[in-house]
Amino acid sequence: MGEAVYDVIVVGAGNAGLSAALAAHQAGTKVLILDKCPKSGRGGNTRFSSGGFRFIYHSIDDIRPMLPEVSEAEAAKLEVGTYASSDYYQDVMRVTEYAADKKLTKILVDESYATVRWLSEMNVKWVLSTRTAHAVRIGEKIRFPSGRVVSVKDGGIGLVETLFGTAQNRNIDIIYEAKATGFLTDKKGKIAGVRVQTKEGFKDFEGRAVVLASGGFEANPEMRAKYLGPGWETVKVRGCRYNSGETLNLALGLGAQAAGQWSGCHAALVNAEAPEVEAAHDQMYSYPYGIMVDINGQRFTDEGADFYTHTYGKLGREVLRLPWRTAFQIFDSKVKHLLRSEYSRHSCVSADSVEALGRKFPGLNWDNLVRTVKEFNEAVQDNPFEPAKKDGKGTKGISPVKSNWAQRLDSPPFYAYPVTCGITFTFGGIRISEKAEVVDTEGNIIRGLFAAGEITGGSFYENYPGGSALMKGAVFGRIAGVSAASASKSSKS
């Protein structure tokens, strides 16, 4: 093969891929980004995210540099607590049932703060997560759940457009509508580039190192049914229509080792009338303030088990198992003001009695619904209701219990929102080392090949803490970029 045109080629251009490209360029290498998406829809799954990042900090003083427009007086009204490395690590381990890769989790945690500050250097702008996190206003104070205080300005779109702008300003080459179809290798088997399908036909791009950052297989119905199980081919896709797993399959075909929970995914609740694909902005996450019932009018889960940021990634799976793959979120007027802003964008059914509410949904067993609400109301304990923390205001004597934020549904009008399962990203992927090197089925490093983001497995099982996925993509994207740059320089010598 001839002299490599690029030092580092990055396949995929979401948060992880852009972070890898920028880090590799910062390390002094010539970089090419290949994006399967058209320019108008660039950014992969990141484009459809809320832009929230979970990272460690000691106090508001660690966060203030990211929020230059927040005055001292405004900062004094923010209650953010602390979020130590041990807190973050335990949050990941707890919600993944201690199945997450411990070494990768430690890197995620330890590098989280430095990485969000690095993103600031890449021109990313931040805002307080008053809408996308479980922040609650208490008088003049705003209390945030520890770890989830800031989001990227303008969400996922703001993140990718900012990083694309930075990449372009640094003269990083970008090719859109370029789908990877194979790897180039040298005589010794080292990765030496990528074969790509473009509008003009197939092209070979030579490079000394390749970073895979092209996401999971959530937009591929066949792979969903194969790995996640029956019924998953029917779910709505919250994210990018282009995340269909081809690059993941290429890596496995090359001999990359599969890792993580291939039967698991981030599966949230979306409006039942949401579009079939790219339905990210139809999420319905205020369920901790009400109850959820199935088509038979019966509760099926503990709506108040934890803050939604620790439960929303798994509830879609529970709803998918229900008859009609549908649930109904029910609230009364006491909590209407606490519902997230997206609820105002979706039509709801309201009525002055629970029976009248139930009768408005064809097929919903309204008689059971009335009975369910009556039993729930009788089981609610008279503790103070405190939405800004896990208040222990639960139920007694019914199953499933509601552990927190249980209030009687007794203040009409009542409101109901039908919801269904929406898949965001998959948990299974390829194994990487602590340097983001791709590992083969024998446990050896595949020379010249690196990976980051949702194409990698091992970080999440069953669930994940909100804000950790973008953080994972940026942390390991940055590591992959630095490692790929180092490898490309070594291959020159």
Give percent above pLDDT 90 in the chain. Answer: 91
Cis amide leading into 288 (omega within 30): no
pLDDT interval class at 1 (50, 70, 90): very low
Please check the confidence at residue 118 and state whether its pLDDT lies above 70: yes
Q: How far is CA 182 from the centre of its chain?
A: 28
Q: Which of 319, 315, 295 is nearest to 304 (CA)?
A: 315
Long-range contacts of 388-397 (CB under 8 A, 24+ apart): 388/134, 388/136, 388/138, 388/143, 389/143, 390/306, 390/307, 394/304
Residue 473 three-state SS: helix
What are the tokens at 173? 């080459």
- pLDDT tens-digit profile of 354-365? 999 999 999 999
pLDDT interval class at 4 (50, 70, 90): low
Q: How far is CA 421 from the centre of its chain?
A: 15
pLDDT interval class at 492 (50, 70, 90): confident
Query: How far apart are the two ends of the chain, measured CA to CA in Å?
Result: 16
DSSP code of residue 348: -
- pLDDT tens-digit profile of 237-272? 999 999 999 999 999 999 999 999 999 999 999 999
Residue 280's pLDDT is: 85
Residue 254 three-state SS: helix
Out of 218-227, 340-349, 362-371, which region has the weakest mean confidence (pLDDT)?
A: 340-349
- pLDDT tens-digit profile of 380-426? 999 999 998 899 999 999 999 999 999 999 999 999 999 999 999 99
Instruction: List Cα–Cα distances, 56 to 80, 141, 246, 341, 433, in angstroms.
Output: 11, 22, 34, 27, 23
In b/e form, how buried is each residue of 56-83, taking b as 16+ CB within 10 angstroms?
bbeebebbeebbeebeeeeeeebbbeeb
Residue 455's pLDDT is: 98
- Positive or negative: CA dihedral 254, 257, 260, 263: positive
Please check the confidence at residue 41 and state whether its pLDDT lies above 60: yes
Residue 493's pLDDT is: 62
DSSP code of residue 462: S
Q: In angstroms, rounded to a whole number, what is the distance separating the alpha carbons of residues 303 and 319?
A: 12
Which bin fits 430, alpha (ψ -120 to 50), beta or left (φ > 0)?
beta
Please, are residues 167 and 69 in contact by the beta-carbon 8 Å criterion? Answer: no
Please check the confidence at residue 454 and state whether its pLDDT lies above 60: yes
Q: In angstroms, rounded to a whole number, what is the distance separating the alpha carbons of residues 491 and 493?
A: 6
Which residue type occupies 382?
Answer: D
What are the tokens at 312? 């929303």
DSSP code of residue 214: -
Residue 309's pLDDT is: 86
Residue 132's pLDDT is: 63
Please, are residues 343 and 269 in contact by the beta-carbon 8 Å criterion? Answer: no
Tokens 């201690």 belong to residue = 98
Q: In angstroms, rounded to a whole number, what is the distance separating the alpha carbons of residues 424 and 174?
A: 26
Q: In angstroms, rounded to a whole number, what is the distance separating the alpha carbons of residues 391 and 400?
A: 18
Beta-bridge mates of residue 11: 34, 212
- Give the mean pLDDT of the chain: 95
Please, are residues 489 and 29 in contact by the beta-carbon 8 Å criterion? Answer: yes
Q: Which of 276, 265, 300, 341 is nearest to 96 (CA)?
A: 265
In b/e form, how buried is each residue of 403-422, taking b as 16+ CB within 10 angstroms?
bbbbbebeeeebbbbbbbbb
Please, are residues 301 and 372 in contact by the beta-carbon 8 Å criterion? Answer: no
Q: In angstroms, rounded to a whole number, what is the distance separating the alpha carbons of residues 170 and 73?
A: 38
Please check the confidence at residue 153 and state whether its pLDDT lies above 90: yes
Query: For the whole model, what pTM was predicted?
Result: 0.92
Please check the confidence at residue 68 and state whether its pLDDT lies above 90: yes
Q: In angstroms, rounded to a whole number, what is the distance separating the alpha carbons of residues 109 and 191?
A: 30
Residue 347's pLDDT is: 78
Q: Which of 234, 240, 205 is nearest to 219 (CA)?
A: 240
pLDDT interval class at 2 (50, 70, 90): very low
